[in-house]
Amino acid sequence: MLSSKASCNSHGQDSSYFLGWQLYENNPFHEVENPTGIIQMGLAENQLSFDLVESWLRKNPDVMELKKGGESVFRELALFQDYHGLPTFKNELVEYMAKIRGNKVKFDPNNLVLAAGATSANETLIFCLADPGEAILLPTPYYPGFDRDLKWRTGVVIVPVHCWSSNGFRITMFALEEAYERAQKLNLKVKGVLITNPSNPLGTTMTKEELDHLITFAMAKNIHVISDEVFSGTVFDSPGFISILEAAMDRNLENTDVWSRIHIVYSLSKDLGLPGFRVGMIYSNNKTVVGASTKMSSFGLVSSQTQYLLTNVLASKRFTSKYMKENQKRLKKRKEMLVSGLKKSGIECLKSNAGLFCWVDMRHLLSSNTLEAETKLWNQMVCDVGLNISPGSSFHCSEPGWFRVCFANMSRGTLQVAMRRIKDFVERSNFMGRSKMNYQQNMSSLSRKLLSNWVRKLSSPDPNEHER
């Protein structure tokens, strides 16, 4: 009756990543109204610097009112649906992107294609680069949304590149080759490798070495490299951020084949904290890709109203400089608060310098080194401790026991509550012995139902899944 896309679960929403959100929605924490509710630590949002944007808006009411020089531009904006986007907007975007990269890379606005969020940008890029049934390599752990964005409607297959804690989850040449071989054995034609830099969920920026491996690998195998750099504006500590294009330029690859096989995805959802506005983009030096993706952007253009607002925000150079600096400062401080808070509970985090989250090592809290134990611990964290943190398995991490914990989407007060809860939990479990915890004690019946449904689904794997 419906399409197979509608009837399967390749939309990826049966993942614990999304279930955690659901459980949170049923019982959301509020400092006053629901102090025992679940704290949302599974959402990588940046809420730390809104006051800066709001202050700019108050000083520039014309822009929100869709006025220019006192005159309304409402009509022009309402009619503007050109898929090339507002030229002034793209000019500002490329300047902003260059600024984030310390002006070491210059971008041409004609090579920038707007999309409805990075979600749309990633899907569009895959539609342009790979045919159904072909494969994209993806280093693990990776953002769960990729299972939907890259695979669902495109019919493309994801082949994971396994990374391990033993070397800080760095991407090695060996891992890339191994994944490629695995794809070959499955008769899958690999069209590209997609990296997220800075990494979600690791919160680390890629080293020069890793980037060089990727580029060398892409050259040798004649494949594309997609670099999802949506978190590039959230780098708050050294080492600094190196964009894939910068790494390629350092090797003087501008006039070689691989230059036209390197593509960047960016969005304003993470550093500027504007996920609701749906501003994503693809940057590519490949004219055919730019051409095709521009036409495809018809399916998800950025509202002209939003393009206009953000053109003006980004045009204010003083504002963007101030914002970038202050935002980074606040992210660093907040991250340190999370890290030290966890440390007091005997929990370590992967050393990170970017992102809106930490990659937390809870392996020592597992009853056994298994996926089941991780799931059990996760249940406890969400339903007993009341923290929606995201289990590593939802990021396809090859080792159980790691969790992504977000810190930038809540107030200091809420984070303090979260830290206290973890401390209590750890102390309790040390005292009582983990196996004796009845984690279902505090679960509402709805949460219990949702969880058991999910666990049941998990035990009957999707035959289309290639990666495990």
Partner 1 sequence: MVAISKIATGNGHGEDSPYFDGWKAYETNPFHPIDRPDGVIQMGLAENQLCFNFIKKWVMEHPEASLCSAEGVNKFKETALFQDYHGMPEFREAVAKFMGKVRSGRVKFDPDRIVMSGGATGAHEMVAFCLADPGEAFLVPTPYYPGFDRDLRWRTGVELVPVVCESSNNFKITRAALEAAYEKAKEANLRVKGLLITNPSNPLGTILDRDTLKGIVKFINEKNIHLIGDEIYAATVFMEPEFVSISEIIEEVECNRDLIHIVYSLSKDMGFPGFRVGIVYSYNDAVVSCARKMSSFGLVSSQTQHLIATMLSDDDFVDSFIVESKEQLFKRHKYFTLSLSQVGIGSLKSNAGLFIWMDLRKLLKEKTFDAEMDLWRVIINEVKLNVSPGSSFHCDEPGWFRVCFANMDDNTMEVALLRITTFMHKHNEAMVPRKLCRRASLKLSLSRRRDDFMSQNMMSPHSPIPQSPLVRART
What is the Cβ-side half-sphere exposure of residue 90, based on CA atoms within 13 angstroms? 19
Interatomic CA distance for residues 51 and 415, integer angstroms: 19
Which of residues 72 and 167 has its CB atom nearest to partner 1 in the complex?
Answer: 72
Q: Tokens for 389?
A: 């943190």
| Shortest separation between residue 15's beta carbon and partner 1, angstroms | 12
Cβ at position 163, least distance to partner 1 in Å: 25
Q: Residue 187 Cβ, how far from partner 1 at the closest point, in Å?
A: 17
Q: Which is nearer to partner 1, 80 or 164 (CB)?
A: 80
CB 204 within 8 A of CB 170: no
For residue 196, which of 229, 157, 236, 239 has the smallest C-alpha distance? Answer: 229
| Beta-strand pair 112-115/357-361 | unpaired
- Residue closer to partner 1, measured from CB, 368 or 411: 411
Quote the least distance from Cβ 328 to partner 1, whole Å: 19
Helix axes 317-344, 304-315, angle to 10 degrees: 90
Q: Least distance (Å) from partner 1 to the CB of residue 165?
A: 31
What are the backbone angles phi and psi of residue 112, rounded to the nearest 5°? -105, 130
Give me 49's structure tokens. Answer: 């610097």
Of residues 140, 143, 129, 299, the one with CA closest to residue 225: 129
Q: How many helices (H) and strands (E) does the chain have?
A: 17, 15
- CB 428, min distance to partner 1, A: 34
Nearer to partner 1, 269 or 394 (CB): 269
Q: Which of 129, 242 has the CB closer to partner 1?
A: 129
Shortest Å, Cβ 130 to partner 1: 5
Nearer to partner 1, 172 or 303 (CB): 303
Q: Which is nearer to partner 1, 242 or 314 (CB)?
A: 314
Q: What are phi and psi of 460, to 5 degrees?
A: -115, 95
**At what angle are helices 87-100 and 317-344 packed, to 10 degrees?**
50
